[in-house]
Structure 1
Amino acid sequence: MIKNIFCDLDGTLYNDSISERDIRAIELAESLGIQFNIATGRVYTHAQNIIENISFNGYLICENGSYIYDRDNQCIFKGVLSDTQIKRIIEVYSSIDYIDFDKDVIYFKYDGEVIMPNDGSKSGYFKSGYKIDPEIMSKITYDSNVGNIGISSLDGDKLNMLVEDFKKKIGHECEVYISSEYTMNIVPKLISKFDAIKQVCKMNNITLDEVATIGDSPNDISMLGGVKMSFAMSKSVEAVKSSATYETPSVADAINMIIDYNSVLK
């Protein structure tokens, strides 16, 4: 029986807004004893702004697993990059000769905000929701507040090259992967949405067989492939679809299937 649903935000539950149909499905699931949780790449404040009108009792996983918040909005886990790792990432980024620093923009998820050293709008991905700090790459310490560093670029081939180059140089100590069509992410080892889900399961004495996941992007593959019941959005790329058990046109459809599955087991 499924007792917990972990759902991605952007491209899954959130597409410029959250549909009323999805909200009603979440409320129905919760009324039937299925806890609804969010697992997103967004920083906490951005995620909270999106979900403020949803009533659910679950956990909020942010920055692709770097932070976990409980239902009282308390941070109960964080897995962050060390100062040494951050400076090495900056060093690698600065040394790659095919990077255009105006169009292939590095960003830091630092202390709950997205920070860039220069205007990231030319990268085409970030239109708002970020701050510019020209000193972000030269800080002496980051005070254990960076869970995630990314690079945004409209050039998909270049992103793939960046992933391979970063893997060669820091892959022994960090996870490096494509996180969306226009972004790549770098996080500490053993940090992912799925690792965060396992943390929540351990804290609540839940088995992974009691978990369903819903997502649409490469950064969801870990949680889609890690459980027996998972749903990829119909518009997902093939690599994401192939990692999931099912395809779904909406979160509501996935939740309804989970409810039907539970009813058969009763």
Structure 2
Amino acid sequence: MPRYRLLALDLDGTLLNENSEISPGNAEWVKRAQEAGVTVVLSTGRGFPSALPFAEQLGLDNPMIVVNGGEIWRKPHELHRRTLLDSDIVNRLHQLAQKHGDTWFWAYSTENIYNKERWVDDIGSRDWLKFGYYTEELPVLQAILDEIQTWGGLEISNSSPFNLEINPEGVSKATALEEVCRLIGCDMSEVATVGDSLNDIAAIRACGLGVAMGNAQEEVKAAADFVTASHLEDGVAFMIQEYVLKD
């Protein structure tokens, strides 16, 4: 029997290479994990439409965690739970973005993704899931973070050292995995998860086996049980082979 019943995989910087592709090696070992009876779950900051093609490529008919846990899908196209980000908060986040005019921003609603070049006039008319900022000017990013941290009621993470991702308080990949465990009848101690960024760190700490990619941010590596190879070196395949399926 496999050591772990559920394997949660981040996408960008983890399962995917620099071309946003799943390598043959990673695909092969994900397939082997499934054949061994492991439930493989995609757990990503991406929205459902962006994550779905990878689930389909891997032949996954399992739960999916998207927008950092803002949506949990029982299986592709069957929504289980959705947690919305209040439109008043989205308006404040948008105003903060405008205050730092050169900063890129984006936001996921339930039906689309909007950004600095394509925004909406009536924020209150949509159901929102997540807001994000991107800038390589780290003092600006820090100023935005400092401001948002004073508001309270939000989960703040990132998917790269140059961005911030904001979800409602209590929404994370960790809490979403707890719900997925309830859905399939397993314990968090039976979960292995792998990722590279701060939006993975709560899950890495909460699961039975928390794995950081070789290219992960240092804080993520420090929180993990072990560090695998990078996303350019089939790090997911290695951790499945060595830690999930090894006798």
TM over 0.5: yes
Structure 1 residue 72 displacement after superposition? 4.0
Structure 1 residue 165 displacement after superposition? 1.2
Please give the per-residue CA displacement for 1:146-183, whole angstroms capped at 9, x wherever unaligned: 11001111212321221111111x2x211223331221
**Matches for 1:131-170 after TM superposition, within 5 Å:** 132-133=118-119, 136=120, 138-139=121-122, 141-144=124-127, 146-168=128-150, 170=151
Correspondence for 2:79 among 75, 79, 82: 75
Correspondence for 1:4 among 3, 6, 14: 6
After TM superposition, the runs of 4+ consecutive aligned structure 1 residues lying more than 6 A away are none
SS at match of 2:14: coil
**2:173 partner letter:** K
Structure 1 contact 7–37 (Cα < 8 Å) conserved: yes
Higher CA-based Rg:
1
The whole-number CA distance in structure 2 between the counterparts of 1:117 and 1:92 is 12
Structure 1 contact 180–219 (Cα < 8 Å) conserved: no
Structure 1 contact 228–245 (Cα < 8 Å) conserved: no
Structure 1 counterpart of 2:103: 104
Structure 2: runs of 5+ lacking an equivalent? 230-234
Structure 2 counterpart of 1:239: 219
Structure 1 contact 163–178 (Cα < 8 Å) conserved: no
Structure 1 counterpart of 2:92: 88
**1:161 partner letter:** A
Question: Cα distance 1:20–1:176, how it changes in 2: closer, same or farther (>3 A)?
Answer: same
**2:86 partner letter:** S
SS at match of 2:25: helix
The whole-number CA distance in structure 2 between the counterparts of 1:209 and 1:257 is 18
Structure 2 contact 42–55 (Cα < 8 Å) conserved: no
Among all aligned residue pairs of Structure 1 and Structure 2, give the percentage whose two residues are the same amino acid.
23
The whole-number CA distance in structure 2 between the counterparts of 1:151 and 1:55 is 32
Structure 2 counterpart of 1:129: none
**1:141 partner letter:** G
Structure 1 contact 8–215 (Cα < 8 Å) conserved: yes
Structure 1 residue 6 displacement after superposition? 0.4
Does residue 57 in structure 1 map to residue 39 in structure 2? no
Question: Cα distance 1:59–1:221, how it changes in 2: closer, same or farther (>3 A)?
Answer: same
Instruction: Let me know the Cα RMSD of the aligned residues.
Output: 1.7
Correspondence for 2:45 among 41, 48, 51: 41
Structure 1 counterpart of 2:232: none
User: TM-score normalised to the size of structure 1?
Assistant: 0.84
SS at match of 2:58: coil
User: TM-score normalised to the size of structure 2?
Assistant: 0.90
The whole-number CA distance in structure 1 between the counterparts of 2:244 and 2:10 is 19
The whole-number CA distance in structure 1 between the counterparts of 2:41 and 2:64 is 6
**2:129 partner letter:** G
Structure 1 residue 113 displacement after superposition? 2.8
Structure 1 counterpart of 2:171: 191
Structure 1: runs of 5+ lacking an equivalent? 119-131
Question: Cα distance 1:142–1:184, how it changes in 2: closer, same or farther (>3 A)?
Answer: farther
Structure 1 contact 43–112 (Cα < 8 Å) conserved: no
